[in-house]
Amino acid sequence: MTTASSIDGRLFQFVGSIDAPFVAGSFVTTEGSSAMRHVGFVDDVTLTDGGALSGVGRVLGEIDADGNLSTTHVGSFFDVALHEATADVIESVYRAADATLTVGSLVQTPEIEAKLIPHRFNRHTFWCGQSGSGKTYALGVVLEQLLIHTALPMVIFDPNADFVRLNELRSDSDADGHRALRARDIRVLSPGGQGSGALRARFRDFSIQSKAAVLRLDPVADRDEYNALTRVTGLGHVDREGIVPALRAADDPAGDLLVKRVENLRLADWTVWAYDSADVNKVLDERPDATVLDIGGFTFPGEKLVVALAVLDHLWAKREERRPILIVIDEAHNLCSPDNDTPLHRAVRERIIQIAAEGRKFGLWMLLSTQRPSKIHPSILSQCDNLALMKMSSPVDLAELATIFGFAPESMLARSPQFQQGEALFAGGFVPAPTLLKVHDRLTHEGGSDVRVPLR
């Protein structure tokens, strides 16, 4: 028999025989003389020198005779029998936490559904997994559930066209999830789109600082050109009928230098400019349920950064409206790596750092997805309160995650190299307890699936 004890009603220790069915991630219950049963979660299990099983965990609450979980005034207990939690007990844990987003099934007990807490996406989330782990597919499952069960709008920066088919259902099923997704306003903007489907940004709406970043201008090192820009900024178009003729007409040596800068950077050839047509922020202001930005289809590398800067600046400028939105950045290292050092990269990264540090109270919540934590600026990573980790083989990356995300048990992080495709560890505020799960199938099509090897 395995017995458990807790001095403070918050953490417990247990010891039992080698055949006890407990591993890190197991939900457990106690059985004693009291009518109340304690519900707990195993953080770590070790084998003692004497061949016994020993472990530690946290107490989640107490179950009463009616099957309801109470998380307040949990008392201590000593030498009580410890058992695997039943499906009903685990469901009571999810119910007490208002966890309603069914995203998969528990790895240890596949017959039990794993659920996330929707209202805890009001914290920043870090999503990580190496190539081939199923990271992007799994992210699509979670985004679908948020669309089905919440009214939280989202904007998705999509560099690899993985979410451009988020508005295409995989079947004509009449199930509740399919019906809900069909009713959602999901828009996809792309560089090659027409009309309202075109992904464009309006240069004249940029702040002078953001315009300078586009033009690679430093206000001190390039003070003459920067000053010339401030004097023509009202015209606002980066084309041969906007800034260029205005600068030439000014008969100013600094203006001539700025004209050469515009021409050398080929800014007039960038297709990202909206000019007098609709821009991306006009779409966002209409508050669709989801707006997918296909930023990977531009010709010039700076164009995707222009879109990101336009959107992030706009959301930050309107933060006092306190209208919640989830900012999803896939392959986030493209936008917030500590190593990218062009003026545009810096401007985008600094805005993301600002939103990470201060945006939560205004309803600007981020979900950042990437292959390696070291590719994300530490000032951004440290602000994330939710973690989704898929297969990760790098010991260095796992050690960094353990340092940053102390709420994720190291013994569970250590299992990541053995994860199968689609398996993940979810930890933090958006789950009642750290959870090992296998994600469900998506309801919509994945846009950027792998290319198959041709066979004879």
Q: What is the DSSP string of 115-170?
A: EE-GGGGGSEEEEE--TTS-HHHHHHHHHHHHHHH----EEEE-TTSSSTTTTSBS
Backbone φ, ψ for residue 360 (5° rounding): -55, -45
| CATH class of the domain comprising 113-201+272-439 | alpha beta
Q: Between 301-317 and 343-358, two packed helices, what is the crossing angle to 10 degrees?
A: 30
Question: Given this model, what pLDDT does residue 122 score?
Answer: 96
Residue 204: band (very low, low, confident or very high) from pLDDT cuts 50, 70, 90: confident
Distance CA 119, CA 111 (A): 25
Q: Label residue 17 exposed, middle or buried (CB < 10 Å: 0-12, 13-18, 19+).
A: exposed
69: nearest Cα among 102, 42, 36: 36
Parallel, antiparallel or unpaired: strands 423-428 and 384-389: antiparallel
Q: Mean per-residue pLDDT for 246-256?
A: 77
30-49 per-residue burial string, b: 16 or more CB within 10 A, e: under 16: beeeeebbbbbbbbbbeeee
The SS3 assignment for 206 reads: coil
287 dihedral zone (left: phi>0; alpha: psi -120 to 50; beta): left
pLDDT tens-digit series, residues 66-103:
778 887 777 888 999 999 999 999 999 999 999 999 99
Q: Which residues of 187-214 are buried (b: 16+ CB within 10 A; e: fewer)?
A: bbbbbeeeeeebbbbbbbbbeeebbbbb
CA distances from residue 226 to 81, 100, 170, 220, 360 in whole angstroms, order as listed: 73, 52, 51, 8, 33
pLDDT at 239: 61
* Longest alpha-carbon distance in the chain: 92
Enclosing H/E stretch for 80: strand 77-84
Residue type at 167 in one-letter notation? N
Nearest of 332, 206, 227 to residue 280 by alpha carbon:
206
Please enumerate in sequence order all residues whose Cβ is within 8 A of that of 350, keeping only pairs 6 or more positions apart, or say none.
none
> Which residue is listed with tokens 């000019």?
275
* Residue 35: pLDDT band with limits 50, 70, 90: low
Residue with tokens 């069915």: 21
Q: Given 3-state DSSP classes, what are the helix, strand and coil percentages for the chain, each rounded to the nearest 5? A: 35, 25, 40
Average pLDDT over residues 357-379: 95
Please provide the DSSP assignment of 16-79 as one string.
E-TT----TT-EEEEE-SSS-EEEEEEEEEEE-TTS-EEEEEEEEEEE-TTS-EE-SSPPPEEE
Instruction: Measure the CA–CA gap between 229 and 236, rounded to whole angstroms.
Output: 10
Token pair listed for 95: 């119910």
Confidence grade of residue 229 (pLDDT, cut at 50, 70, 90): confident
How does strand 69-70 pair with strand 435-439?
A: unpaired
More confident residue, 341 or 156: 156
Segment 407-421, tens digit of pLDDT: 999 999 999 999 999
Phi-psi region of 132 (alpha: psi -120 to 50; beta: other; left: phi over 0): left
Q: Considering only 53-67, 71-85, 221-235, 383-397, which range has the smallest mean pLDDT? A: 221-235
Q: β-strands 364-370, 423-428: how paired? A: unpaired
Give tens-digit pLDDT for 278-303. Answer: 999 999 999 999 999 999 999 999 99
In sequence order, what DSSP letters do the residues of 229-283 get, joined into one string? HHHHTTT---STTTHHHHHHHTT-HHHHHHHHHHHHTTGGG-TTB-TTS--HHHH
Distance (Å, whole) CA 217 – CA 344: 10
Does 34 have pLDDT greater than 60? no
Q: Tell me what pLDDT residue 74 has.
A: 78
Mutual angle of helices 253-264 and 223-232, in 10-degree steps: 90
pLDDT score of 222: 92
Domain boundaries, the chain: 3-96, 113-201+272-439, 217-264
Lowest mean pLDDT among 27-36, 119-128, 190-199, 266-275: 27-36
- Bridge partners of 188, per DSSP, are 292
Going by pLDDT thresholds of 50, 70 and 90, the confidence category of residue 404 is very high
Give the helix ranges, DSSP H, for 340-449. 343-358, 378-381, 395-404, 410-413
Residue pair 404/428 in contact (Cβ under 8 Å)? The answer is no
| Mean pLDDT in residue range 114-127 | 96
| 107 closest CA partner among 406, 429, 314, 391 | 391
For residue 384, is pLDDT > 80?
Answer: yes
The pLDDT, as a whole number, for residue 232 is: 73
Question: pLDDT category, 37, cuts 50, 70, 90?
Answer: confident
pLDDT at 447: 80
Q: Residue 36: what pLDDT?
A: 67
Average pLDDT, the chain: 90
